[in-house]
Amino acid sequence: MRRTLANIYRLGVKELWSLWRDPMMLVLILFTFTIAIYSAATAMPETLHNASMAIVDEDNSPLSQRIVAAFYPPQFKRPAMITTRAIDPGMDAGDYTFVMHIPTGFQRDVLAGRPAEIQLNTDATRMTQAFTGSSYIQQIALGEVTAFVQGYRGQAAMPVDLELRARFNPTLDKSWFGALAEIINQITMLSIILTGAALIREREHGTVEHLLVMPVTPFEIMSSKVWSMGLVVLLASFLSINLVVRALLDIPVAGSLSLFFAGAALSMFATTSIGIFMATIARNMPQFGMLTVLVLLPLEMLSGSTTPRESMPEVVQNVMLAAPTTHFVELGQAILFRGAGIDVVWPQLLAIVAIGGVFFTIALAQFRRAISEMA
């Protein structure tokens, strides 16, 4: 047992030195846990944020000025005041997503009770912002017109007063979800890629043959790759959460990081095994890359990190219970978002351990078969 542990340790240190000498992998790790996390938190295409807008105000009345003043950050940039001739060139150049045209006599027609129109030109190539923004602009403009006509701002008294309370994210800041969800996704992705690439690198450099003549077993070789690459991912994700998420983005973490990283380590026991299994099937790095795309997309999209599992067909929900990422996403969101303790997430921990044991056994059998073929 002591010799086995010593071999696993020394082989793992060798893997760390090999990774240190691979600049492309180091760049991938750095990008994944810095720029990718920051982008996921700040670039939110599903929300209306700093949308460019221009307004043609031919009426120049108190009502039109009131409408112009209603558009401000963070949903919209400060509207640019342009002329009618600048509408088409500005939209053709992509300078404006929305251009509102308020015609002459708009306020007069509104006060006289005659039909009044405002033209809204939308750049539909920016599909998400165009769909969301058009609705926002319509609500804002109609609200200003109604308040102007009534002479006051108010709402009719409702028979029921609905009190809304947003738990775990009081300001409904979507960057909180984007950053932490991306951390969970990147842990899964990097653990698969690094472990599989380590085995492919051994094969391409011809060092697998050297390992075969050494007094080490396939179990020791595989275990060394699991712990070394898992350690790298854990360290990178720990620094990312503390330096990028908490320090740079000022996003709070509700629960225990120790418990989260314990769950991440168990999850990587399964995902690193998946990476080794894929590397034994692929003959080179391009093939491994193609397999990674085929495996990672379902794992990330159907595990609940991108879209809620409740919105998926029931058969997909049941099938994905066999994936470690499903339980890791549920565990990670419970700890990081809701501050859950081990009394809440212990079923996910047990499921991850069981699934990890199955994947490790399958990967080890495939790895032994691949080594015997090389020998």
Cα 240 vs. chain centroid, distance in angstroms?
Answer: 14
Pick from 92-101, 106-115, 194-203: least confident: 194-203
Q: Is residue 177 part of a domain?
A: yes
Which one, of 360, 342, 178, lies nearest residue 260 by Cα?
342
Peptide bond into 324 cis (omega under 30): no
Residues paired with 53 in a beta bridge: 98
Q: Is residue 251 part of a domain?
A: yes
Domain endpoint, select from 96, 120, 150: 150
Higher pLDDT, 158 or 299: 299
Q: Is residue 48 part of a domain?
A: no
The answer to whether residues 191 and 257 belong to one domain is yes
The predicted-structure confidence for 349-365, as pLDDT tens digits, reads as follows 999 999 999 999 999 89
Q: How confident is the model at residue 258 (pLDDT cuts 50, 70, 90)?
A: very high
The answer to whether residues 142 and 241 belong to one domain is no
The answer to whether residues 287 and 323 belong to one domain is yes
Q: Is residue 264 part of a domain?
A: yes
Query: Which amino acid would we find at residue 231?
Result: L
Q: How confident is the model at residue 257 (pLDDT cuts 50, 70, 90)?
A: very high
Query: What residue numbers bound the domain in which 317 lies?
Result: 2-43+169-374
Q: Flag whether pLDDT at 48 surpasses 60.
A: yes
Q: Flag whether pLDDT at 375 surpasses 70.
A: no
The answer to whether residues 122 and 203 belong to one domain is no
- Residue 193 tokens read as 């890629």
Residue 92 is part of a domain; what is its CATH number?
Answer: 3.40.1710.10
Predicted local distance difference test score (pLDDT) of residue 61? 92
The answer to whether residues 144 and 175 belong to one domain is no
Q: Over the chain, what HEC string results? A: CHHHHHHHHHHHHHHHHHHHCCHHHHHHHHHHCCHHHHHHHHCCCCCCCCECEEEEECCCCHHHHHHHHCCCCCCECCCEECCHHHHHHHHHCCCCCEEEEECCCHHHHHHHCCCCCCEEEECCCCHHHHHHHHHHHHHHHHHHHHHHHHCCCCCCCCCCCCCCCCCCCCCCCHHHHHHHHHHHHHHHHHHHHHHHHHHHHHHHHCHHHHHHCCCCCHHHHHHHHHHHHHHHHHHHHHHHHHHHHHHHCCCCCCCCHHHHHHHHHHHHHHHHHHHHHHHHHCCCHHHHHHHHHHHHHHHHHCCCCCCCHHHCCHHHHHHHHHCHHHHHHHHHHHHHHHCCCHHHHHHHHHHHHHHHHHHHHHHHHHHHHHHHHHC
Predicted local distance difference test score (pLDDT) of residue 326? 92
- Residue 113 tokens read as 């009770």
Going by DSSP bridges, is the β-strand pair 119-122/53-57 parallel, antiparallel, or unpaired? unpaired
Number of domains in the chain: 2
Pick from 73-77, 233-237, 329-333: least confident: 73-77
Q: Is residue 241 part of a domain?
A: yes
The answer to whether residues 197 and 341 belong to one domain is yes
The predicted-structure confidence for 308-353, as pLDDT tens digits, reads as follows 888 888 898 899 999 999 999 999 989 998 888 999 999 999 999 9
Higher pLDDT, 307 or 65: 65
Predicted local distance difference test score (pLDDT) of residue 208? 67
- The model carries a pTM of 0.74
The answer to whether residues 179 and 308 belong to one domain is yes
Q: How far apart are CA 260 and CA 246, in angstroms?
A: 15
Could you tell me which residues come within 8 angstroms of residue 54 by beta carbon, excluding any fewer than 6 positions away?
79, 80, 81, 82, 86, 87, 90, 95, 96, 98, 99, 100
The answer to whether residues 223 and 298 belong to one domain is yes
Q: Is residue 140 part of a domain?
A: yes
Q: Is residue 160 part of a domain?
A: no
Q: Is residue 159 part of a domain?
A: no
State the average pLDDT for the chain.
87
